[in-house]
Amino acid sequence: MTTPIGDIPASSIPDARAWILAQLQAQYPESGGVLVCLDEPGPFQPDDIISVGDVHQAYSPEQTVGSGGPGWLREDYTITVTVDCYRGGDDAAGVFARARVLADMVVAVVRSDPSLGGAVDRSRPATVSHTSGWDEEHKGRQTVIDLGIDCLKTL
């Protein structure tokens, strides 16, 4: 028996990204000095940026028999949220501390609802990388933190 294409669930990625973006925007409204955006920011780039960006995904079958319909496939993916902080001058510790405050807010948002508003079966903060140093023009310090949010959804 085959499953009609219209009955096969779609990926949860768009809903998961939208939920994370909306929750972060609620924490940092546009007037708050932190730019919260989807993917790379445009020309307006304040000193503090949080971007909900790239996704790396894998599928695996949940059942070895069946129609391929609902419950048959599992998607595992990682949404990368990037925190980018810059300050003019040479206050490396201050820039790093500010970036960690924003990164910790991203973690808190995910932990507040691991279903990401019902978009996934579960999610969790998983990987973090910190990169700090001088900006390209050596006029100030920059810290970039990439957070991987692991998500799982049975489709």
Rounded-to-integer distance, Cα 57 and Cα 108, Å: 23
Residue 2 belongs to some domain of the structure: no
| Amino acid (1-letter code) at residue 125 | P
Q: List phi, psi (to 5°) of 94.
A: -65, -40
- Domain of residue 64 covers 9-154
| Angle value at C-alpha 79, between 58 and 83, nearest 5 degrees | 155
pLDDT tens-digit series, residues 38-51: 999 999 899 999 99
pLDDT tens-digit series, residues 64-116: 666 778 888 899 999 999 999 999 999 999 999 999 999 999 999 999 999 99
Residue 3 belongs to some domain of the structure: no
Residue 135 belongs to some domain of the structure: yes
Residue 141 belongs to some domain of the structure: yes
Q: The domain that contains 62 carries what CATH number?
A: 3.30.70.1700
User: What pLDDT, on the 0 to 100 scale, is given for residue 9?
Assistant: 87
How confident is the model over 115-126, as a mean pLDDT? Answer: 98
Domain total of the chain: 1
